[in-house]
Structure 1
Amino acid sequence: MERKQSGRPLGRRLSGRTMTAVSLLALTAAALTGCASGKATGGDADQATASAGGGTASGTKSSGKNNIYVIGGKSDDPFWSTVKRGVDDAAKLVKSGGGSVTYLGPQNYDNLGPDVAKLTLTAISQNPSAILVPDWVPENQDAAIKQAVTKGILVLTYNAGGTEAAENVGAVKYVGSDDYEAGKAGGAKFAEEGAKNVLCVNTVPGSANQEARCKGIKDGAVSKGASSRQLPLPSSNFGNPSAVTQAIKGALLKDSSIDAVVTIGVADADSAASAIKQAKAGDKVKLGTFDLSQSQLDRIKDGSQLFAIDQQPYLQGFYVVSIADQYLSYGVLPPQNPILTGPLLVTKDNVAAAIAGTKAGVR
């Protein structure tokens, strides 16, 4: 995991140099978008070939046109619907050059590493120009990713893994947040607001980015004099509000010293809010989460949630597709690695702007 950004102030946006690079890319993309006509098409992400930007996944590149495969999360996962919005918008650029973008995702997260490895092999079998994939579980995924690189397929990793993991598999770039640094920001924020014992709820244990998030929470809390431990739950609990609520409620009732809870995603944060209420601990337990949704923002606004850590998923989807397309077409590649899209802490001080972005479908 790349950890070179530890000196960046909490809650600040990207550095000027990195932001300049990605801003130039965005301006180029916006100009090209104006030349494209029609909307990107798509369907469900789950084990599907949802061709975004027109065309079909024919299994070969046609006339040198870019045929890009994007592997991501479940289609009904709120975070990944925002990533896919970015993918679909960037796919319009690919379509303008006669290419196509196909999105693949697992049906669930119960067997994440092996399932995503299989999706990577499926993408390889289609002889694509590029495969863009999060490196969630390296021990399961890396062999498949390296196979793509060996076959001469352009690979970029995004969302999970960081620069070190990208270099290990031969990917040319990593696009996303630094999950460890994001966690450190959240852990430090809790401690600065008076929390002493932070519980990090992990419903996808073993996933590299979720483990990095909880480790960051712990290190950030410890750096400010607090402590933290992880509550790992079976991945089958992901998306099961009742199970997650009861598990968190049980932990709070068992250990009255817990005064802060952070979750790895927005659905779990809603469950945590219910658990805190049911445990009658709302006056003592602070809540934080990774990622954004309207319910998180509403709670931050009314003061019942301390923060949400935004990795700006729309940018992840938009940038990774745009970078791949520009590199395949023109050999253009931003020199910065990683291309960071976060973290950004959303608190009561900046929640109004985040609410506007969420309503637009890009936060």
Structure 2
Amino acid sequence: MERKQIRRRLARRRLSSVTLPALALLASAGLALSACTSGATSNGGSSGTTGAAPSAPGASTAGGTISIFVIGGKSDDPFWSKVKRGVDDAAKVVQANGGKVTWLGPQNYDNLGPDAAKLILTAKSQGATAVIGADWVPDAQDEAFKSVSDSGVPVFLYNSGGADAAKTVGALTYTGSDELLAGKVGGQFFAQKGVKNVLCVNTLPGAVNTEARCEGISQGISVSGKSTQLPLPSSSFGNPTAITQAIKATLLKDSSIDGIVTISTQDADSASAAIEQADAASRVKLGTFDMDDTQLERIKAGTQLFCIDQQPYMQGYLAVSQAFAYNAYGLLLPQSPLLTGPAVINAGNVDQALAGAKAGVR
């Protein structure tokens, strides 16, 4: 499979720890939330609600009103709705100080890279004073990001790309998850629980992010165990039955496997079914990257060991907070990347995660 196609498929899958308020960044700038501000971001290309520009806090480094554009996924995507919740909460401070935050997202993920590049350029053409975006498909998006940064408008990467990508496109920083590190943490957690032989199910073999996740698992458990990858053909992508049967067959063939980790929550559902069908629940512990209500409920019930959360709410909140602080005051944190994960959700903290999920931020 060609790299662009793999990345596009990966993006679709993803466009598929205790949450902290994260107010410290804004408090350092001496800001306070306005009780009379709605805080909703504008969507698409609409103007949104913008307060009167004050003489100092709302002014950008260029002397105009702050206008932050955020390129994200579909707002009805469960993952991206949490990112947008973080963006909306941070937007309250921006709007209270006379600026505005505009969310731009694609109609679908069929042509993600080129569509995202167009949105980046749209933000530039509409007078953005800062652009926040995920570098999902570098081959298609990097030139657009460079066009923005080369014009003097600060770029902030989040969610996808990493510190190296930020340097490539001239972004000031990256906020999000490090997939290799996340995998290492997952492997170490398996080892702590006595797991010796982990199967990493990769339904997008060859993709940079998924390979990093499985490699991290292998590195993390290497002190006391091992991990092998089960690469499934692209024809299995999005086919729960095919994935379940492939995992089941592997479990029946190798009785030494006592741990399974998947690259997404959808695959974790398939793995859970496979473990049950193979009558292996007593020996096989399940973990996954990312999280949803189903994963949390299984952890609560004791039928799943963990999930690795990259805290999407924090990605949106911190990215907007940083863009505002830089536009308004020239403030920039020295940490890059600024990691929002990994956060391992397990039996010890699942209740807190469930509370966050009910609030719409986990």
Kept in 2, the 8 Å contact 1:201–1:233? The answer is no
Task: Determine helix, strand or coil for the equivalent of 2:92.
Answer: helix
Give distance in 2, aligned partners of 1:73 and 1:189: 31
The Cα offsets for residues 77-127 of structure 1, whole Å up to 9 and x where unpaired, read as 322111110011111222223322222233444554344333323333333
Percent identity, please. 52
Give 1:152's aligned amino acid.
G
Structure 1 gap ranges (5+): 1-11, 56-60
Give distance in 2, aligned partners of 1:214 and 1:103: 33
Return the offset for 1:335: 2.0
When structure 1 is superposed on structure 2, of 81-90 and 225-234 the one drifting more is 225-234
Give distance in 2, aligned partners of 1:129 and 1:80: 23
Q: Provide the residue aligned with 1:103 in structure 2.
A: 103
Return the offset for 1:348: 0.8
CA distance 1:253–1:236, change in 2 (3 Å): closer
Structure 2 gap ranges (5+): 1-16, 52-59
Give 1:217's aligned amino acid.
I
Task: Determine helix, strand or coil for the equivalent of 1:32.
Answer: coil
CA distance 1:232–1:34, change in 2 (3 Å): farther
Return the offset for 1:42: 5.0
Give distance in 2, aligned partners of 1:308 and 1:136: 22
Give distance in 2, aligned partners of 1:236 and 1:123: 37
Kept in 1, the 8 Å contact 2:39–2:91? The answer is no
Q: Provide the residue aligned with 1:259 in structure 2.
A: 258
Mapping 1:1-363, distance limit 5 Å: 24-28=24-28, 31-34=31-34, 37-42=37-42, 48-49=44-45, 64-203=64-203, 208-232=208-232, 234=234, 237=237, 240=238, 243-255=239-251, 256-257=253-254, 258-363=257-362
Give distance in 2, aligned partners of 1:53 and 1:213: 40
Q: Provide the residue aligned with 1:6 in structure 2.
A: none
Kept in 2, the 8 Å contact 1:157–1:171? The answer is yes
Give 2:167's aligned amino acid.
E
Give distance in 2, aligned partners of 1:344 and 1:101: 28
Kept in 1, the 8 Å contact 2:203–2:233? The answer is yes
When structure 1 is superposed on structure 2, of 68-77 and 170-179 the one drifting more is 68-77
The Cα offsets for residues 129-163 of structure 1, whole Å up to 9 and x where unpaired, read as 11111223333322221121112221011122222
Greater C-alpha Rg: 2
Kept in 2, the 8 Å contact 1:136–1:207? The answer is no
TM-score (norm 2): 0.80
Give distance in 2, aligned partners of 1:253 and 1:144: 45
The Cα offsets for residues 5-53 of structure 1, whole Å up to 9 and x where unpaired, read as xxxxxxx899xxxx9xx6521535894323551241555xxxx447665
Give 2:198's aligned amino acid.
V
Task: Determine helix, strand or coil for the equivalent of 2:135.
Answer: coil
When structure 1 is superposed on structure 2, of 257-266 and 153-162 the one drifting more is 257-266
Q: Provide the residue aligned with 2:54 in structure 1.
A: none
CA distance 1:41–1:337, change in 2 (3 Å): closer
When structure 1 is superposed on structure 2, of 93-102 and 329-338 the one drifting more is 93-102
CA distance 1:165–1:277, change in 2 (3 Å): same
The Cα offsets for residues 270-313 of structure 1, whole Å up to 9 and x where unpaired, read as 33323433444333332111222222111111110100112221
Give 1:118's aligned amino acid.
K
CA distance 1:52–1:201, change in 2 (3 Å): farther
Give distance in 2, aligned partners of 1:73 and 1:236: 24
Give distance in 2, aligned partners of 1:118 and 1:339: 26
Return the offset for 1:207: 5.0
Give distance in 1, aligned partners of 2:30 and 2:308: 27
Task: Determine helix, strand or coil for the equivalent of 1:284.
Answer: coil
When structure 1 is superposed on structure 2, of 284-293 and 202-211 the one drifting more is 202-211
Give 1:345's aligned amino acid.
V
RMSD of aligned alpha carbons: 3.2
Return the offset for 1:198: 2.7
